Amino acid sequence: MPVLPVGSHPSRLAANERLRGAMVAANVTIEALADHLGIDPKSVDRWLNSDRTPHARNAEAAAKFLGADAYHLWPKLGERRRSTPTAQDEVVACYPMRSTVPYGLWRSTLAGATRVIDLAVSNLLFLADTVWDLPTLLADKSAAGVRVRIVAPENPAGPVTGLGDVFPSLLSVPGLRLSTHPGLRADMMRADDDLLVTTPFDGLTPALAPVLHLRRLGSAPMVGGYLATLDHLYATATPTRPVASHLRAVAA
């Protein structure tokens, strides 16, 4: 029997034909959507075969994955009581330390960005090991019109040395904003409305600190605070300016 792309009840008319159509158009199965959202496939099946509306966080993430509008897929989403999202609503997951974050989450989060990528990274080597094709991915995103900013700690040997040693090819990517900051002690990765943030405190290195996976919901207070911090960080960082003649010689 062939595997159905969506819906596990072929004899029953799905209650949500908009969601079914979006999944068929995107060639996404129930299992694939559930895996992307980190939920049980039975939940996605219920969305298809009943009038159940998912939590706003899952609805927005599912719609983004399918290239659709959440309020089109679930019209009742807009009928729910309108209240200010709480910090708890923004938390997608919490991991006890960096090594417990699913390995592919770092790259898949960046790969899904369509508007903004911000990297404030205290450990460039960790990022290089985790996202092996990071320079290519960021170059492609920048070429596609995504705003990409990277800030790293200052290196005693020079402002460009740290970034240049770990990601030399990034120095020649047009439109990429590279900078350094002396006060960078934690890690924060933003891709559109998703953030992965380490939360170290005195005596605890970022590698051993808990990691929050956050997703912005409207004027959500927690993500809003982190985004304001990111903007301040970039505003007070020192831009890196690789020597243009050297880059031309390498390219040649």
- The answer as to whether 200 is a domain residue is yes
Which two tokens mark 113? 């960005």
Could you tell me the CATH number of the domain that includes residue 91? Answer: 3.30.870.10
Reported as a pLDDT band with limits 50, 70 and 90, residue 191 is very high
On whether both 48 and 138 belong to a single domain, the answer is no
Contact, 92 vs 191, CB < 8 A?
Answer: no
Q: How would you classify residue 27: left for phi > 0, otherwise alpha for psi between -120 and 50, otherwise beta?
A: left
pLDDT for 1? 37
Contact, 197 vs 214, CB < 8 A?
Answer: yes
On whether both 127 and 182 belong to a single domain, the answer is yes
DSSP SS3 for 55: coil
Q: How many domains does the chain have?
A: 2
pTM over 0.85: no
- The answer as to whether 186 is a domain residue is yes
pLDDT for 7? 45
pLDDT > 70: what percent of the chain? 79
Higher pLDDT, 80 or 187: 187
Q: What is the residue range of 188's domain? A: 87-251
CA distances from residue 44 to 35, 66, 73, 197, 230 in whole angstroms, order as listed = 10, 13, 13, 28, 34
Highest mean pLDDT among 145-149, 174-178, 183-187, 204-208: 145-149
Please determine, for residue 3, whether its predicted confidence score (pLDDT) is greater than 80: no
On whether both 184 and 227 belong to a single domain, the answer is yes
